[in-house]
Structure 1
Amino acid sequence: MKYYFSFFLFLTLNFVFGQQNTEFKSVKNFFDYQRFMLNNEFKKKFDSESDFSAKINIKKDFSEFIRRIDSIQNTALVGALIKVKNREDLDRLKIPNLPKVELANPKKTDLEQEAKYPGGFNNLRGQVADLFYSDAVLANQEQLKTSVEFVVERDGSITSVHAVGDNFTFNRQAEIAMYLLPEKFEPAQINGMPVRYRFRLPLAMNFE
């Protein structure tokens, strides 16, 4: 099944509290290592085989193993998403006990610098597309849409990722892809100080 992404970016400013998580990085690093080891073993087997038909079968077997690993990894990532969301929900309950932000409800014109992703919007779009696991999406129509909101923290990490759309599995995979982004944002600034910044990223995928 072919699929295509289209993105539109809207920015709004808001102050929230959150914390950086390592669950997604841990899951990805573990399964990347499994793929690396699997690739080495299959390459040895492929290189040692002289029969052309056998080589084709080895390639098919390798593709099937990778497909299974991708599926198992996604299950682990769903577990990480639930864990992170639960933790962030608990953190939000602690907000009244935290120091209040002095610049309450600043206007966008107060910003000296908006939050930026390395390489710009096109790089962000490409990385989300690469990280999106479409095989887990139960598509019931040709095009699916969601609106993903997330917060860029003062250190450039992202938290509080929440996707709103009609398709639950599409929303979930969009959230996972955002948490898997490999690079941090350059945080927004007001009066030379980094501030928390909220993004809204509408996302659409066409299925053919």
Structure 2
Amino acid sequence: MCKNILTLIVFFLFSLTMGQTSAVFELRKLNKRYDSILIAYQQRAKDSLSGHSKKDRLKIMALYEQKVNKQRRQQNLAYLDKIKLEEDTSSGTPAKRDIKCKSMGNFGPPNFKRNSKYKATESPQVSAVPHFLGEVKSVVTFIVDEEGTVKNVRANGENEDFNREIELMFYTMEKKWTPVCVGGFAQANRFILPITQTAE
């Protein structure tokens, strides 16, 4: 009994010091799973749709992938809500970690491009989704902790779909940021970043 209680206490304390919530890791696993499903579909479709013209084959594949990606987005948004809830309801302040760094090191983000082997099938008969027309703007606030982990990402702008896409982009990045380095030690900081996207 005492051993079980001790295990729960250790797990609770460990969870307070983690940079990101468990839902963030679940979100990343979800996207990898969907990528695998779509890659497998593309490989099968090359044979099963071989009797169709290239134009029709691409259309069929693009429409199916669009349907699957719509399901992916719905689940992504559900995880995004879960992440925010976990961050908002987490109790206690994570202990400050003394992580050494190079004083001359520059703060900066990793590559924003998501590393995925899945490439969506393109068809001139099927429009991309989601598609933001014209200019859309958002201001994103976030924290980069001492380990370079991003958390508490919140995007605000007129287009809610664009805001959610930005938040998902930040949370699905697996590579860490380079944190601010002061006096040889990394420091957690909150940042504000305006983002503008223009599409025709």
Identify whether the pair has TM-score above 0.5, normalized to the shorter chain: yes
Written as runs of structure 1 = structure 2, the 5 A alignment for 1:147-162 is: 147-162=139-154
TM-score of the two chains, using structure 1 as the length reference: 0.68
Q: Which amino acid aligns with 1:135?
A: V
Deviation at 1:114, TM superposition (A): 4.3
CA distance in 2, matches of 1:99, 1:19: 11
Structure 2 partner of 1:201: 193
User: In the alignment, what sits opposite 1:168?
Assistant: 160
- The Cα shift of 1:36 comes to 1.2
Q: Where in structure 1 are there 5+ consecutive unaligned residues?
A: 1-16, 103-110
Percent of matched pairs sharing the same residue: 22
**8 Å contact kept, 2:66–2:129:** no
Q: Which of 181, 197, 208 does residue 173 from structure 2 map onto?
A: 181
1:99–1:182: structure 2 CA closer, same or farther, 3 Å change rule? closer
Once residues 203 and 180 of structure 1 are traced to their aligned partners in structure 2, the CA distance between those partners, rounded to angstroms, is 17
Over aligned residues, Cα RMSD in angstroms?
2.8
TM-superposition CA deviations, 1:23-73 (whole Å, max 9, x none): 221111110111111111112224xx3x5x544322211111111122111
Give the equivalent residue in structure 2 for 1:83.
Answer: 82
Corresponding residue of 1:64: 63
Q: Secondary structure at the match of 2:140?
A: strand
Deviation string 1:132-157 (CA, Å, 9 cap, x unpaired) is xx8346x6x73221001111122222
Asked if structure 2 preserves the Cα contact closer than 8 Å seen for 1:115 and 1:152, the reply is: no
Matches within 5 A, 1:99-138: 99=95, 113-118=105-110, 123-124=111-112, 127=113, 135-136=129-130
Q: Contact 2:145–2:189 (CA<8 Å) still a contact in 1?
A: yes
**How far is the alpha carbon of 1:174 from its aligned partner?**
1.2
1:150-175 per-residue CA deviation (whole Å, 9 max, x = no partner) reads 11122222101001112222211111
CA, structure 1 residues 151+73, in 2 after alignment: closer, same or farther (shift >3 Å)?
Answer: same
Shift of 1:186: 2.0
Displacement after TM superposition at 1:101 (Å): 8.7
C-alpha contact 1:18 1:153 (8 A) present in aligned 2: no
Please give the TM-score of this superposition, normalised by the length of structure 2.
0.70
Supply the AA of the counterpart residue of 1:94.
G
Contact 1:145 1:203 in 2 (8 A): yes
Q: Which residue identity is paired with 1:79?
A: A
**Shift of residue 18 of structure 1?**
6.7
Relative to structure 1, is the Cα distance of residues 182 and 191 closer, same or farther in structure 2, using a 3 angstrom cutoff?
A: same
Matched AA of 1:19: G
8 Å contact from structure 1 (residues 116, 186) kept in 2: yes
SS in 2 for 1:189: strand
SS at match of 1:149: strand
1:203: Cα distance to partner?
Answer: 0.9
Q: 1:199 to 1:60 in 2, by over 3 A?
A: same
Secondary structure in 2 matching 1:160: strand
Q: Secondary structure at the match of 2:129?
A: helix
Q: Is residue 18–residue 159 contact of structure 1 (8 Å, CA) maintained in 2?
A: no
